[in-house]
Amino acid sequence: MNNSPKEQSNCTFIPVKHLETIKVFEKKSDCDIWNAFNKGDEMAFNYLYRTYVHKLFQFGSQYSRDSSLVKDSIQNLFIYLRKKRGSLGEVTNIKGYLFKSIQREIIRNIKSNTSFEGFEENFLESHFQLEVSPEVSFIKNESEDERKIQVQQALNQLTTKQRKAILLFYEEELSYKEIAEIMNFSEVKTARKLIYRALASLKKYIKPTSY
Amino acid sequence: MSNYTNHKKYEDYEFEDFLSDEFFVQWVKSHSENNLHFWEKWLISNPQKREMVTEAASFVRSIQYKENFEFTDEAYIEVFENILKVDLETPSISSTHSKKEVWYSFFSVRRVAAILLIGFSCWALFETQNFSESEKAPIEWITKVNEAGKKTVIHLNDGTVIHLNSNSKISYPKTFTDSIRVISMEGEAFFDVEKETRPFIVEVNDAKVEVLGTSFNVNSVVEGKLEVALVSGKVKVNDKLGNQVMLDPMEMIVLEDNGKIYKQDFDVRSVTGWKDKYLVFTDDDFDTVVRKIKNWYGVEISTSGKFNTQWAYTGQYFDESLENVLEGIAQTSKIKYKIKGKEVQITH
């Protein structure tokens, strides 16, 4: 990035303008933002890119450590969406839609890059690893730390699908409906069950003893 | 609300029911007016579930990706530019009508890119800037002081709203700098901070409370003790020793002068009720009750008689007169009082 003093002095007022455009969209529904994008509103594209690109990279990197592959996939996805402006369908949850799309794009790219058969099953084993954040234990005592280790062990025993669903549900704040769509379940209740089973197997570790 | 497979009511919810509830997770992870309103009210009327809710919320928040893949600034700009480049290479339809549109979008696209780039270098700039450096800039500061009996609401030009309690003081720059929003305070204040990229920092008792967009209460009324209670959003508290603690919603952190730091739950009404005209006593000892009344009404209080350490008072008053409050306390706590103008006598 260019950090010349000239550019620095410019920043006294311009970012404020930029902020305002972001704010305008922050208050709008996903539907409205998507419609604006579909109609060719560049600020809406700007907003989408800025809001979701980091998330897409983090999610996409769960499938491939090849960062240039993930980067290219994101680029292709946005190029595709921009080309389709004017004829894009309605989207009520942008994040869910983009996650589903980037997943498709990345898997397609991985498949075309490698001759690896049946990658989806094997490949996923090591991915979507999750952990319990260390921040949470701030006030808790040592036995709490011990429980955390147990929870981590329990988390490690979850299936890849369960881990993925849990990350999408808690970390990405997606609904059961969106999770079902991303994971290609025909029914929402399959996603619900998946999470519920994962929680059941974690239950004895995460459930506080006092209840 | 949302659609559940189990039709249990929230009050019958068990730990795992909360964990699998979309509306609950939504509230824990990102507050909106919709969910905040419901859950605040629900917690007040279901105090027995508070501990379970806190535990469930902490589990929800603790789940994260094990590996973090950072999308670098270079990649951010490169991908953005590549996406836009494609547009310019393929001007789609070639009717005279749409030609004009292509030019239009050409200009607006470049403008977007420029704003974005400058926005970025700016971000880099204030990321590397030290807080203390930016404070040295010659800025005109405004100071507001509330004496006992007076409360004010201050609207800052960034949209932040501050409720300043009585016997409290606050100083803030006439206009914030482009990189940071710093204010300093004594006493007690409730902040509803406008969300934006400039960090908002409250300096109080050598500690710093750093926020993005959030509402929280800062109380340094009791000597040697600082309490920061977070209602929504996210707050980072740095004490003078360099300890740094993140607060999640419905958590309160207490910093004591002896270096002790601890987190605890809090009751929204008793901590922040003052800004909505609720005078709240929660198991308060006599000295605390006297201090609160003095501050609230701006009166002098003289006491006589003996108050043992067991004496405690709990009660809530909404926008009540001094006399009604004293009468309320007198009825349950065997005190007698006399009001003479701005002076109150309490005997036991």
pLDDT in tens, A37-67: 999 888 889 889 988 999 999 999 998 888 8
Contact list in B for residue A23 (CB cut-off 8 A) is 196
CATH of the domain at A182: 1.10.10.10
Domain count, chain A: 2
Low-confidence ranges of chain B (pLDDT < 50): 1-6, 91-137
Letter for the amino acid at A58?
Q
A112 and A153 part of one domain: no
Please determine, for residue A6, whether its predicted confidence score (pLDDT) is greater than 50: no
Residues A94 and A136 in one domain: no
Which site among A13, A39, A139 would you substitute to test the B interface, given the most B Cβ atoms closer than 10 Å to its Cβ?
A: A139
Q: Are residues A101 and A144 in the same domain?
A: no
Last residue of a domain, one of A88, A116, A144: A116
The identity of residue B319, as a single letter, is D
Structure confidence at residue A114 (pLDDT): 63
More confident residue, B153 or A211: B153
Say what the pLDDT of residue A13 is: 32
Whether A67 is covered by a domain: the verdict is yes
Tell me the nearest-neighbour CA distance from A16 into chain B, angstroms: 8
In a domain, A1, yes or no: no
What residue in B sits closest to A170 (Cα-Cα)? B60
Are A88 and A139 in the same domain?
Answer: no
- Residues 101-160 on A with a CB inside 8 Å of B are 128-133, 135-136, 138-139
- Residues B54-89 pLDDT 10s: 888 888 888 888 888 888 888 888 899 899 888 766
Highest mean pLDDT among A94-103, A156-165, B261-270, B322-331: A94-103
- In this structure, the answer to whether residues A18 and A112 fall within a common structural domain is yes
Pairwise CA distance, residues A203 & A180, whole Å: 23
Please state, in angstroms and rounded to a whole number, the distance separating the CA atoms of residues B184 and B205: 9
Helix (H) or strand (E) holding A71: helix A67-83
Q: Same domain, yes or no, for A23 and A105?
A: yes
Q: List phi, psi (to 5°) of B172.
A: -150, 155
Tell me whether residue A48 is in a domain: yes
Domain holding A154, by residue range, is 128-211
Q: CA–CA distance from B268 to each of A1, B25, B47, B215 (Å)?
A: 45, 20, 11, 12
Note whether A166 and A90 are same-domain residues: no
Provide, as residue numbers in chain B, all residues whose Cβ is less than 8 Å from the Cβ of A17: 115
**Which residues in chain B touch residue A57, judged by CB atoms under 8 angstroms apart?**
69-71, 75
Give the tokens for residue B183: 């204010």
Q: Select from A12, A82, A199 the Cβ nearest to the Cβ of B178.
A: A12
Chain A residues in contact with B65 by the CB 8 A cut-off are 58, 62, 128-131, 167, 171
Q: How confident is the model at residue A206 (pLDDT cuts 50, 70, 90)?
A: low
Mean pLDDT in residue range A203-208: 67
Q: What is the CA radius of gyration of chain B?
A: 26
Residue contacts between A and B (CB atoms, under 8 Å): 161
To 10 degrees, the CA torsion angle through B304, B310, B316, B322?
Answer: 0
Q: State the ipTM, two decimals.
A: 0.82
Q: In this structure, are A201 and A132 located in the same domain? A: yes
pLDDT attached to residue B170: 92
Q: Is residue A4 part of a domain?
A: no
CATH of the domain at A46: 1.10.1740.10
Asked if the Cβ–Cβ distance from B120 to A49 is below 8 Å, we say no
Q: Using a CB–CB cutoff of 8 Å, tell me whether A87 touches chain B.
A: no
- pLDDT number for residue B10: 84
Asked whether the beta carbons of residue B118 and residue A203 sit closer than 8 angstroms, the reply is no
pLDDT confidence of residue A190 = 94
Q: pLDDT band at A179, cuts 50/70/90?
A: very high
Q: With contacts defined as CB-CB under 8 Å, which chain B residues touch A74?
A: 79
Q: Which H or E run contains A168?
A: none
Q: Is the pLDDT of residue A82 over 90?
A: yes
Region A23-40: mean pLDDT is: 86
Nearest to A206 among B26, B59, B80 (CB): B59
Out of A96, A116, A136, a domain closes at A116
| B74/A15 CB distance under 8 A | no
- φ and ψ at residue A48, rounded to 5 degrees: -60, -45
Chain B contacts of A39, Cβ < 8 Å? none
Same domain as A135, residue A103: no
